[in-house]
Amino acid sequence: MPTLNETPRSDRLHIGFFGKRNAGKSTLINAFTKQQISIVSDVAGTTTDPVFKSMEIAGIGACVLIDTAGFDDIGELGKIRVAKTKKAAERTDVAVILFSDTDIEKELEWFDYFKKKGTPVLNVISKADTMSSEEISQIRSEILKKTSEEPLIVSAENESITEKFKDTLIRLIPEDFGSRSITGNLVGDGDLVLLVMPQDIQAPKGRLILPQVQTIRDLLDKKCLVMSCTTDRLDKTLEALSYPPKLIITDSQVFKTVYDKKPKESMLTSFSTLFAGYKGDLEYYIKSAEAVELLTEKSKVLIAEACTHAPLAEDIGREKIPRMLKKKVGEGLRVDIVSGPDFPDDLTEYDLIIQCGACMFNRKYVLSRIDRAKSQGVPMSNYGVIIAYLNNILDKISY
């Protein structure tokens, strides 16, 4: 089971706690972890912004616990808090919904939301120590009737019940969670893989960027033979090898350069393309790339970055991809850019969305963005896929 130090936050199981204000979400999290993760108070609305806490829990492994604001919050600030709770819901792999009184209409709405998303839900009757047996029976009966699922009755003061909560939660974790491989079936034990990694200003000084690190770890876990070089040393590296690599993985921005130099026996892909499959819906990304042909100077494109770094010269998302698109379509093409968790609810004004590799997001959140685009009929692709398409090599790369 992956440990906290081995697992990037974006690859950890995200467990979200949802309920009304003062439903006992923070109290349950603290009891569950036996730590003071969240501030607890009798004052409704103590938790304002979602709290994300990376943990390692026996039986679950590396995970992120999400404590959210009450979904019944009120006022203008309350609307903002509820909106952030909804954003947190998009990242949730397993949802815990707390039922804290006999009015369960709101909780059932959220139950339906998660079920439609395919997210496992644990229904919990919280604060059982403050309710009468009649109230608990009424809530339980209504939940069972409306959801066909038996709720768990908990009191954060009862340690044995908290253990039962954990055991029930473990059974809800999707069986295939954490089993995905970045490089999929492209390579296996003993295969030689060459990584071509330009170290430009976007790379942190003295470190590799996260997709490179994660890909290397994936290859080492598969017992591959891993070689690496920068783009300007590609020729000498290939000369030094006694046989061609089975796979070459490079940065999307030098796709064409590497393709022109690679041995014909070697497969080629990019970090971004690999992450398109690892984090998102690669088939939809590839199909959506064809939307480039329909763009005109009156079209609008949205570029979505996962990172919130300050804009850099020759930034791939802010500079290079827009320049490539405008060279093909015309300078009148409008390109909007959002970063981090910012992503419009209404996407219909756009003719194409281009998402980065999303190494900073968990898969559930990326898929929620894709679902939003699909439901609104907007094509959505990925940095690596679009760059390969614009270089006319999308049909020649491996994924």
Question: Are the CB atoms for 52 and 66 separated by under 8 Å?
Answer: yes
Neighbour count for residue 325 (Cβ, 10 Å): 21
Instruction: Tell me if residue 171 falls in helix, strand or coil.
Output: helix
- DSSP assigned state of 44: T
pTM here? 0.81
Portion of the chain with pLDDT greater than 90, in percent? 61
CB 211 within 8 Å of CB 275: yes
Residue 162 has pLDDT above 90, yes or no: no
Give burial (CB, 10 Å; 0-12/13-18/19+) of 371: middle
Most confidently modeled range among 8-12, 45-49, 338-342: 338-342
Can you list the domains of the chain with their CATH numbers?
Answer: 9-172 (3.40.50.300), 192-274 (3.40.50.11420), 281-396 (3.40.50.11410)
- Lateral strand order in the sheet of 152-153: 51-57, 61-67, 13-18, 94-99, 121-125, 152-153
Q: What is the pLDDT of residue 43?
A: 46
pLDDT at 262 over 50: yes
Average pLDDT for residues 41-70, to the nearest whole number? 78
pLDDT score for 26: 87
Residue 307 has pLDDT above 80, yes or no: no
**CB 108, CB 139: distance < 8 Å:** no
Which pLDDT score is estimated for 11? 86
Residue 19: the pLDDT is 95
Band of residue 179 on the pLDDT scale cut at 50, 70, 90: confident
Q: DSSP string covering 85-139, please?
A: HHHHHHT-SEEEEEE-SS--HHHHHHHHHHHHTT--EEEEE--GGGS-HHHHHHH
Distance from C-alpha of 351 to C-alpha of 193, rounded to nearest angstrom: 37
The reported pLDDT for the residue numbered 1 is 42
More confident call, 57 vs 289: 289
Q: Which of 107-121, 307-321, 383-397 has the lowest mean pLDDT?
A: 307-321
Q: Per-residue pLDDT tens for 97-145?
A: 999 999 999 999 999 999 999 999 999 998 888 888 999 999 999 999 9
Mean pLDDT of the chain: 88
User: Confidence class of residue 4 from pLDDT cuts 50, 70 and 90?
Assistant: very low
Left if phi > 0, otherwise alpha if psi is -120 to 50, otherwise beta: which for 335? beta
pLDDT of 194 higher than 90: yes
d(CA 171, CA 163): 13
Indicate if the pLDDT at residue 205 is higher than 90.
no
Q: What is the pLDDT of residue 249?
A: 97
pLDDT-derived band of residue 325, with 50, 70 and 90 as boundaries? very high
pLDDT tens-digit series, residues 333-376 = 999 999 888 899 999 999 999 999 888 889 999 999 999 999 99
Residue 37 has pLDDT above 70, yes or no: no
DSSP state of 205: T
pLDDT given at position 6: 55
